[in-house]
Amino acid sequence: EIAMSLTPHHLQLNQQGQLRHFLTIEGLSRELLTELLDTADSFLEVGERAVKKVPLLRGKTVCNVFFENSTRTRTTFELAAKRLSADVLNLNISTSSTSKGETLFDTLQNLEAMAADMFVVRHGDSGAAHFIAERVCPDVAVINAGDGNHAHPTQAMLDMFTIRQHKGAFEQLRFAIVGDILHSRVARSQIHALNILGAREIRVIGPKTLLPTEIERLGVTAFTNMDEGLRDIDVIMMLRLQLERMEGQLIPSSQEYFRLYGLTSERVARAAPDAVVMHPGPMNRGLEITSSVADGERSLILPQVTNGIAVRMSIMAKLMGPQSQNLESEP
């Protein structure tokens, strides 16, 4: 794993306390998160226009550098950048010179030499986005699109946006994050965001083997019994079982995992009467969630994806755009 030489939440703010990179939710203020969500509200409307474009980032170049597979994050970043009128470069790592042994730093220096203004980075190693942010030119911004099991801050922001859109004030709501907490960068970012935004209660639910030790220090209560953990919950946030990251036998079997932690309609009925269900994707249907729940009326899984575009537009605009936003359509 790439060592983090600076505390990430110090690295992402400049000396005036303004956002310079977007690397982690940790250490950001409630005011900033609320401002990003409010701006995303206005960008949602842009996505409903016949011409889905505003000229805010015209002339800027955004480079998507994904060292790990992605469906939702990469495509919604690309759409977000295009809707802001930026030029977008998608570096395909499998066909790039990285496969010939070029280092991460050399690859990025070459992209910088092409005058990229922003790097959107996904990497399998925790700390990769910070490593890059420490080394880029002063006017280049870096967004963490998921690093190892550390953070996925834009996913957490689109989750917060979707919760606010459908359920209102965080102070009134109880949350349960369910499944493979141990390997989940999404869970870590969600927990930070929910705490900053004032959630009434945050629970994590999973087998002991998939709950990090001392997880309570993040301000959550841990449950190993799903039926107990779901009681009175307003928002059920499911996680993917990350079998590819597991070393050794952390679950007894897929069938047993589903029996104990799979989200079925019967289990949803144990939560609050109007509880909603979220999942960042990709989903393992039949392993952590049934199709009847994933596709049911309580599911916010596809709205999460749609909202991801507006939320990523908001974060990009904050990092690269002028302070006053021009939401006029292109002529």
Start-to-end CA distance of the chain, whole Å, equals: 47
**How far is Cα 180 from Cα 173, in angstroms, rounded to an integer?**
22
Q: How far is the CB of 96 from ligand CP (least distance, A)?
A: 19
Site for ligand CP in 299-328 (CB under 6 A): none
Ramachandran category for residue 59: left, alpha or beta (phi over 0 → left; psi -120 to 50 → alpha): left
**How far is Cα 64 from Cα 316, in angstroms, rounded to an integer?**
12
DSSP for residue 220: -
Binding of ligand CP by 195 (CB under 6 A): no
Binding of ligand CP by 72 (CB under 6 A): yes
Binding of ligand CP by 61 (CB under 6 A): no
Binding of ligand CP by 280 (CB under 6 A): yes
User: Which amino acid belongs to residue 320?
Assistant: M
**How far is Cα 72 from Cα 95, in angstroms, rounded to an integer?**
21
Do β-strands 221-223 and 87-92 pair in parallel, antiparallel, or remain unpaired? Answer: unpaired
Work out which of 146, 207, 212, 229 binds ligand CP, going by CB under 6 A: 146
Q: How far is the CB of 232 from ligand CP (least distance, A)?
A: 27
Binding of ligand CP by 155 (CB under 6 A): yes
Other Cβ atoms less than 10 A from the Cβ of 29: the count is 11
Work out which of 8, 206, 281, 321 binds ligand CP, going by CB under 6 A: 281
**How far is Cα 108 from Cα 18, in angstroms, rounded to an integer?**
24
Q: How far is the CB of 4 from ligand CP (least distance, A)?
A: 21
Q: Which residue is nearest to ligand CP (CB)?
A: 73
Binding of ligand CP by 245 (CB under 6 A): no
Work out which of 39, 61, 73, 107 binds ligand CP, going by CB under 6 A: 73
Binding of ligand CP by 225 (CB under 6 A): no
Three-state DSSP state, 263: strand
Cα–chain center distance at 77: 11
Structure tokens at 96: 């790039």
Dihedral (CA of 319, 138, 72, 207) sign: negative
Q: Looking at beta carbons only, is 5 or 71 nearer to ligand CP?
A: 71
Which among 20-28, 71-79, 162-170, 285-293 is the span making contact with ligand CP, rule CB under 6 A? 71-79
Binding of ligand CP by 282 (CB under 6 A): yes
Q: Looking at beta carbons only, is 117 or 159 nearer to ligand CP?
A: 159
Q: How far is the CB of 220 from ligand CP (least distance, A)?
A: 21
**How far is Cα 12 from Cα 144, in angstroms, rounded to an integer?**
11
Q: Which helix (H) or strand (E) holds 315?
A: helix 301-320
Q: Looking at beta carbons only, is 149 or 155 nearer to ligand CP?
A: 155
Q: How far is the CB of 282 from ligand CP (least distance, A)?
A: 6
Q: How far is the CB of 240 from ligand CP (least distance, A)?
A: 8
Three-state DSSP state, 146: strand
Work out which of 5, 18, 71, 225 binds ligand CP, going by CB under 6 A: 71
Q: How far is the CB of 304 from ligand CP (least distance, A)?
A: 8
Q: Which helix (H) or strand (E) holds 120?
A: strand 118-123
Q: How far is the CB of 146 from ligand CP (least distance, A)?
A: 6
Q: Which chain residues interact with ligand CP by CB under 6 A? A: 70-73, 146, 155, 280-282
